[in-house]
């Protein structure tokens, strides 16, 4: 159920990608003023998960953390989840060939 180390790096969006996306939207829609372009940029940045690492728990729920979760069997750590806007305890459990992650809310 867990994601392999480095998997979350695929989800990181570079600023160049965001700027190219903004440029294509401006060309298609025709936003010309600086204020309109900035508004589109703010919407794009606010709707992306730049810099967050995804982790899927035992129940299939996706969580987003600023740091990659690297735990060994039965280790626990507390991290802030950007998906649920709360602190979560994360525990890794080895299951034959992969780690399964259990999460509980609260510090």
Evaluate if pTM is beyond 0.85: no
How large is the angle between the packed helices 15-29 and 34-46, nearest 10 degrees? 130
Confidence of residue 52 (pLDDT cuts 50, 70, 90): confident
Chain CA centroid to CA 66, Å: 7
- Answer whether residue 5 shows pLDDT above 60: no
Confidence of residue 88 (pLDDT cuts 50, 70, 90): very high
């Amino acid at each position: 159920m867990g994601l392999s180390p480095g998997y979350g790096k695929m989800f990181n969006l570079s600023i160049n990608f965001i700027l190219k996306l903004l440029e294509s939207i401006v060309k298609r829609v025709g936003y010309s003023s600086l204020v309109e372009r900035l508004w589109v940029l703010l919407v794009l940045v606010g709707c992306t998960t730049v810099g967050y690492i995804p982790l899927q728990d035992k129940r299939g729920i996706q969580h987003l953390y600023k740091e990659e979760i690297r735990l060994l069997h039965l280790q626990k750590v507390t991290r802030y989840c950007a998906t649920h806007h709360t602190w979560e305890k994360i525990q890794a459990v080895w299951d034959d060939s992969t780690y399964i992650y259990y999460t509980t809310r609260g510090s």
